[in-house]
Amino acid sequence: MNAKLDNKKVAIILGFYNGNNFIDAQIKSILNQNFKNIDIFIFDDNSKKKLEFKKVKINNNKKPKIKITKRKENLGYAKNFLLGLEEVGKGYDFYAFSDQDDIWEKDKIARGIEALISNDSNFPKLYCSRTAYYNSECTKEIGASNIHLKKPRFANALLQNIVGGNTILMNNLARQIVIKTVKAENFISHDWWCYQIISGAGGEIIFDKNKTVRYRQHKYNLIGKNNGFEDIKSRILEFFLGKVKVWSDVNLKNLYNFRYLLTNENNEILENLLRARGSKNIFKKLNYYLKSGVFRQSNKESIIFAIGIIFNMV
């Protein structure tokens, strides 16, 4: 561990909802991190059952401290995480999101910090990584998330989320951008929104090709894995079910409302995409769409989305 990191502090925002079956293993993996100067904030999204630790003993006289807050109403996972990011306060150097049912690799936090402090630290930055997919017992790896080769940026974030919330670590400057937006009425997902608003404001997104999280696959997962050919099939299905249009409506409305946070260049990208969606002329639609420069990591999916624009499905 870099000696320069000894005085750094990390806040972990853990979203919880009826997750007693898996919470012990996740907390243990956090306690076993190589980087120790952390505090854990658990935000219980009004679970039906009381949060209980079976094997983990809490001693808030020692690091890490664990604080539990129970919501008075169910906010949904995205709002729960984003409000949690605001509520933990500004007294930390870095902020991480944690799901209730994963297992973190021992160097997860350390890898993220090392990436965030490289080059210019006085700049909004968000770190994320790949995840390994495991069976429900978390004993066998059954797959992994994609390696994304194209540079993460706002033009990609408008059409695609490549940032896994359970891998996120951001610096305080990035957090300051996000918390200005948390009172928005609705969010599709906290991680996608962080990708959009931080990159849109000119922040740097760092994607680590290494896997830092063991993502447990079970029937209670809110969002499952999508990879390769199955991912493309699911995208096409989402078009026909109208999901992509709904997601775009929510995301673009929020970005428009917070456009004062965006750089001039990214405001222009947003404006061209909005014009593409709003135009009734097919040729103008395509012209604005291509002018915006938006893209997905897969060239095939970029073509699918261009077709989707023509038929008002994006």
Residue range 247-301, pLDDT digits in tens: 999 999 999 999 999 999 999 999 999 999 999 999 999 999 999 999 999 999 9
182 with 271, same domain? no
Mean pLDDT score of the chain, rounded to an integer? 93
Neighbours of 291 (CB within 10 A): 15
290 with 181, same domain? no
Q: CA 45 → CA 12, 21, 22, 75, 106, distances in Å? A: 16, 16, 16, 6, 27
CA distance 45 to 48: 9
92 vs 228 pLDDT, higher one: 92
* Residue 2 belongs to some domain of the structure: no
* Residue 118 belongs to some domain of the structure: yes
Domain end position, chosen among 189, 216, 243: 216
Domain end position, chosen among 162, 196, 216: 216
Q: CA 276 → CA 53, 157, 253, distances in Å? A: 51, 17, 15
2 vs 46 pLDDT, higher one: 46
238 with 208, same domain? no
69 with 121, same domain? yes
Residue 112 maps to which CATH number? 3.90.550.10
Q: 141-176: buried (b, 16+ CB within 10 Å) or exposed (e) per residue?
A: eeeebeebebebbbbbbbbbbbbbbbbbbbbeebbe
Domain end position, chosen among 172, 188, 216: 216
122 with 199, same domain? yes
207 with 235, same domain? no
* Residue 125 belongs to some domain of the structure: yes
**Range with the poorest average pLDDT among 59-68, 146-155, 218-227, 232-241:** 218-227
Mean pLDDT in residue range 17-40: 95
* Residue 3 belongs to some domain of the structure: no
CA distance 259 to 268: 10
Mean pLDDT in residue range 41-68: 85
283 with 186, same domain? no
CA distance 132 to 116: 22
> Coil, strand, or helix at residue 261?
helix
pLDDT, residue 295, reads 98
- CA 66 from centroid of its chain's CA atoms: 22
DSSP letter (8 states) at residue 87? H
CA distance 228 to 238: 16
pLDDT, residue 220, reads 62
**For the chain, what is the domain count?**
2
171 with 232, same domain? no
**Per residue in 180-226, pLDDT tens?**
999 999 999 999 999 999 999 999 999 999 999 999 987 665 554 55
21 with 127, same domain? yes
212 with 232, same domain? no
pLDDT, residue 114, reads 96
> Coil, strand, or helix at residue 84?
helix
119 with 172, same domain? yes
Query: 153 is in which domain, residue-wise?
Result: 8-216
Residue 311, strand partner residues? none
Q: Quote the pTM value.
A: 0.94
- Whether omega before 64 lies within 30 degrees of 0, making that bond cis, reads yes
161 with 287, same domain? no
